[in-house]
A and B are shown apart, each in its own frame.
Chain A
Amino acid sequence: MSISQPGVECPSAGYCENIVRQVRRYFRRPEGTNGSAEVCFRITKDGGTDDIEVRRVRGGFTFRLAVQEAVEQAGLRRAFGALPGAFGASSLPVCVDITPQI
């Protein structure tokens, strides 16, 4: 797992590690696809998600759906956790690159 933060700070390293962990947890790779994609979304104050967009998809429509559903499910279950009170902004913009292990 690698983290880079152009412009916006992670509330904490642990918070961002948990984002990756939760997307991985809810991501179900469609059988027979080794796709890749970038999924961008906002984590709202209460830990929900907004403005999910899947970009640069390789692996077809089913892979796109699987990536989108992973973020949707994590958000619905507030799996990312609420943004820390000390975090100044009202939401946290995040992009996650999803690629197969080589």
Chain B
Amino acid sequence: MVRLAFRSALSRAFPLAALLAATVAIPASAQRDTVPQAGVRLRLTYEPQYEPGFVVLPFGGDAGAAEAVRGIVRQDLDFSDRFELKEPSGARAGDEVNVALWRERGADWVLQGSVEGRGGALALRLTLHDAVYGQVKGSGTFDLPAQNSRGFRMAVHAASDAVVRWATGEPGMAASRIAFVTQGRGSKEIYLVDSDGENVTRVTSDGSIALSPAWSPDGRKLAYTSYRSGAPFLYERDLGTGADRLVSDRTGLNITPAYAPDGRTIAFATTVSGGTEIATTGAGGLRQHTQGRRHISLSPTFSPDGGRIAFVSDRLGEPQIYVMELGGQPRLISEYTYGSRGYSTSPDWSPTGPQIAYHTRVGGAHQIVVSAADGGRARLLTDRGRNEDPSWAPDGRHLVFASPDRDGGGLFVLDTVSGRVRPLVRGRGFGLPDWSPTLARATGAAGGR
């Protein structure tokens, strides 16, 4: 049983919204009486990149587990790139929290925690103090499996995401994993890794070529292409049972799958009349969505509402990114100059809004860019080495991408707000990452402020 208390930003917004509405309702003449027309004029500038100070106090309770849990939570909060983590110098587990003192030391947020044994499992109690407003912003008790058991780290990550939501009102991304492809000797296999780079596990062991893993919206399945039957067929792996389901064995290609938000429809690229077209397979059978007329269309990605897809097509000669409503006409969104050789591919639609990340060629090297779904100027996010195949985290803020040459190569996580990049998996031969949705949630009944 998880108990949770959370005073949401929304609940605070409603009384303020009502107040604003009341202000609007006042006649203009009355407003002139109440609003200061002349007075002291002051100017305040704020730092757009300001990150509020955050202290994670030593956790009380079971000493070994408490330190391990605190270490994971602290790192998750650091990797969220939303806070400036500060050391709790001089603090001891179990001390009464002096929020005013931590405020003086530059902390906006103070996290207090304890871990207690509960049968063979653990109970993590967390309280987030708002040091600026001098109040508790959220508190909850989370069930954790035993420290060495499977699922322990993911349960702690879910608690970290709850803390991020208490503090910012935004989703976290700690409780998630990344699927990716590794290049072996004559084969390519699919692996998974947690969002913090831990817990690398193998998914396929076919000694063949596996490509383009794509997460289902519930995080329980992966769609992927495998050549293990001799041709590129599309499969769906149930990650709970390990069972595979054949999704498409059409003659020709069955590649670059992507789930629709309904979790049942899969879009992919397949051979039609000598061209490669975007099609969907689901309850209604196979439906073709592009008419490339012997051009190539591939790498579909759905908008969060499932009404549109972005995809790659070479109908202008070079691969470019297009967006279209299902059943509508495609519209070019990547930058294209007539007569010039552009190259843009690997689109991924943000799970939280109308933004599409993809990689494009800049000065001969692939770089990650983000563009609005309705077009507009793309924002260049990388400029060092080669950077490819971006995939959004469930927070809609971070991207994972592959680089063969950055810091020795590997997979990297990019914070699109601060521009910070951290390595996720180091080494050569890693590619085609796909970031999962949130895989574990801390849920429970509200019971506090």
State which residues 112-150 of B face A: CB under 8 Å. Answer: 132-134
Given contacts A53-B23, A65-B13, A93-B36, contact A3 B48 (CB under 8 A): no
Q: Mark B359-388, 1 if CB is under 8 A from A, else 0.
A: 000000000000000000000000000000
Give the secondary structure class of A's interface: mixed
| Min CB–CB distance B110 → chain A (angstroms) | 16
Find chain B residues with CB under 8 A from A41 CB.
Answer: 36
Q: A51-B35, A101-B47 are in contact. Are A3 and B20 (CB under 8 A)?
A: no
| B20 engages A68 (CB within 8 Å) | yes
Question: Is A10 a contact of B40 with CB atoms below 8 Å?
Answer: yes
Q: Which of B20, B23, B50 contacts A29 (CB 8 A)?
A: B50
CB interface residues, A 49-87, toward B, < 8 Å = 51, 53, 64-65, 68-69, 72-73, 77
Within the assembled complex, what's the spacing in Å between the Cα atoms of A53 and B28?
A: 13
Contact between chains at A29 and B40 (CB < 8 Å): no
Query: Cβ of B48 and Cβ of A34 under 8 Å apart?
Result: yes
Is B46 close to A, CB under 8 A? yes
In whole angstroms, how far apart are the Cα atoms of A24 and B132 in the complex?
Answer: 11
User: B43 near A99 (CB under 8 angstroms)?
Assistant: yes
Cβ-Cβ contact count across A and B, 8 Å cutoff: 117
Quick check: B16 and A69 within 8 Å, CB to CB? yes
> How many of chain A's residues touch chain B, expressed as a range?
35 or more
Check B25 for interface membership: any CB of A closer than 8 A: no
Which residue of chain B is the closest to A19 with respect to CB atoms? B42
Tell me if A6 and B46 are in contact (CB < 8 A): no
CB B414 to nearest CB in A, in angstroms, measures: 16
Nearest opposing residue in chain B for A97, CB measure: B43
Distance A73 CA – B168 CA, assembled complex (angstroms): 17
| Cα A69 to Cα B14 with chains together (Å) | 12
Q: B39 interface residue, CB < 8 Å from A?
A: yes
With both chains docked as a complex, state the minimum distance between the C-beta of A99 and any C-beta of chain B, in angstroms.
Answer: 6
- Given known A6-B38, A95-B40, contact A100–B45 (CB-CB < 8 A): yes
B-side interface residues, number (CB < 8 Å): 32
With A31-B168, A68-B20, A73-B133 known as contacts, the answer to whether A99 contacts B45 (CB < 8 A) is: yes
- B417 at the binding interface (Cβ < 8 Å): yes
Q: Determine whether B185 belongs to the interface, using a CB cutoff of 8 Å to chain A.
A: no
Report the nearest B residue to A100, measured CB to CB: B48
- Binary contact track A26-45/B, C-beta < 8 Å → 1, others 0: 11110110100000111000
Interface status of B34 (Cβ within 8 A of chain A): yes
Residues of B within 8 A of A25 (CB): 132
For residue B134, which residues in chain A have a CB less than 8 angstroms away from its CB? 77
Q: State which of B17, B38, B47, B48 has its C-beta within 8 Å of the C-beta of A93.
A: B38
Instruction: Report yes or no: A4 in contact with B41, Cβ–Cβ below 8 A.
Output: yes
Chain A residue numbers with a CB within 8 Å of B157 are: none
Report Cα–Cα, A93/B42, bound state, in Å: 11
A7 to B39, Cβ gap below 8 A? yes
Cβ distance B364 to chain A, nearest Cβ, rounded Å = 32
Asked whether A2 lies within 8 Å of B43 as measured between CB atoms, the reply is yes
**A24-B46 in contact (CB<8A):** yes
Give Cα A28 to B170, complex, Å: 14
**Does B289 have its Cβ within 8 Å of any Cβ on chain A?**
no
Nearest 9 interchain pairs by C-beta? A93-B39, A93-B36, A7-B38, A2-B43, A100-B48, A34-B48, A51-B34, A96-B42, A101-B45
Residues of B within 8 A of A (CB): 12-13, 16-17, 19-20, 23, 31, 34-48, 50, 52, 82, 132-134, 168, 170, 417
Contacts A53-B23, A68-B16 supplied; 12 other A-B pairs, CB < 8 Å: A1-B42, A5-B40, A7-B38, A9-B40, A20-B42, A31-B168, A34-B48, A41-B36, A51-B36, A92-B40, A93-B37, A100-B45
